Amino acid sequence: MSAESNQEIDIMHGLKTVLAQIEAAVSRRSKDLPQVAPRLVAVSKIKPAALIIQAYEGGQRHFGENYVNELAEKACDPQILEKCKEIKWHFIGHLQTNKINKLLGSPGLFMVETIDSEKLADNVNKQWVKYRKDEEKLKIMVQVNTSGEEAKNGIEPSESPKLVEHVLKNCPNLDFVGLMTIGQYDYDTSKGPNPDFLTLAKCRQEVCQKLNLDINNVELSMGMSCDFEHAIELGATTVRVGSNIFGARPPKKA
């Protein structure tokens, strides 16, 4: 068996395993939470187009990238354009103003999960007009820094209703769909529920109460390879999983 077909089985196996784990986590979720089937975003950063195509052929449609250049390059890859016609790209990294056009021009862009200021929302809202088809709005999430770490992007939890309100009132080309957090890595759940996930869920409650929104229509994007099941139990509607599907990434160079 060639290395390639070997890898193929691994990706299919990874996808099936993660989807089964998602289903099991949903069954453990409190009935008080919005009963939304969680969306799996396969995080394909630094993985080649060939592996994305394999996952797509295995039924996966939503893919996430952290860097604008990488998302733009993959979205324009001739193989992906030809073989993955229904691919939906999620941008899940920090968006700099000078990269907005490059991101918005990427074929198959489905959602920007990391809007973290009024200025960024206004810029994306203004530029999207050049790229959208018909009157289509761009789906966005507001990123919240739930862990208070300086290295993480996102607004303060208390600021989330204000930013969401700004998007709803002043950004007619954007479709606000939910809140997103990165949260701290490797939280030890033996200490109790992850406070970052609880904080994001609380932010959603506040946003919905203050702005009179239906909680069932406001998503929570939280949870990664190490903690996505726990995130679903606490109400995640989108989980971003990379290494469990595509295999471990090489460690960052020092």
Q: Which residue has the higher pLDDT, 151 or 169?
A: 169
Give the pLDDT band of residue 2 (cuts 50, 70, 90).
Answer: very low
Long-range contacts of 130-137 (CB under 8 A, 24+ apart): 130/101, 130/104, 131/104, 131/105, 132/173, 137/172, 137/173, 137/174, 137/175
At 129, list the tokens: 């007009």
Please tell me the predicted confidence (pLDDT) of residue 165.
98
DSSP tag of 192: S
Give the pLDDT band of residue 252 (cuts 50, 70, 90).
Answer: low
At 232, list the tokens: 């679903």
Inform me whether the pLDDT recorded for 254 exceeds 50.
Answer: no
- 24: phi then psi, degrees, rounded to nearest 5: -65, -40
Inform me whether the pLDDT recorded for 3 exceeds 50.
Answer: no
Q: Which of 169, 163, 117, 171 is nearest to 139 (CA)?
A: 171
- Distance from C-alpha of 88 to C-alpha of 61, rounded to nearest angstrom: 6
Inform me whether the pLDDT recorded for 4 exceeds 50.
Answer: no
pLDDT in tens, 159-174: 999 999 999 999 999 9
Please tell me the predicted confidence (pLDDT) of residue 196.
96
pLDDT in tens, 60-80: 999 999 999 999 999 999 999
Per-residue buried b or exposed e for 121-154, using 16+ beta carbons within 10 Å of the residue's own CB:
bebbbebbeebeeeeeebbbbbbbbbbeeeebbb
DSSP tag of 158: G
Biggest CA pair distance of the chain: 58
- Distance from C-alpha of 102 to C-alpha of 16, rounded to nearest angstrom: 33
Please tell me the predicted confidence (pLDDT) of residue 5.
47
pTM of the model: 0.93
pLDDT in tens, 178-230: 999 998 888 888 899 999 999 999 999 999 999 999 999 999 999 999 999 99
Burial of 86 (C-beta count, 10 Å sphere; 0-12/13-18/19+): exposed
Q: Average pLDDT, stretch 232-243?
A: 96
pLDDT in tens, 87-145: 999 999 999 999 999 999 999 999 999 999 999 999 999 999 999 888 899 999 999 99
- Distance from C-alpha of 38 to C-alpha of 247, rounded to nearest angstrom: 22
Please tell me the predicted confidence (pLDDT) of residue 183.
85
Helix (H) or strand (E) holding 238: strand 238-241
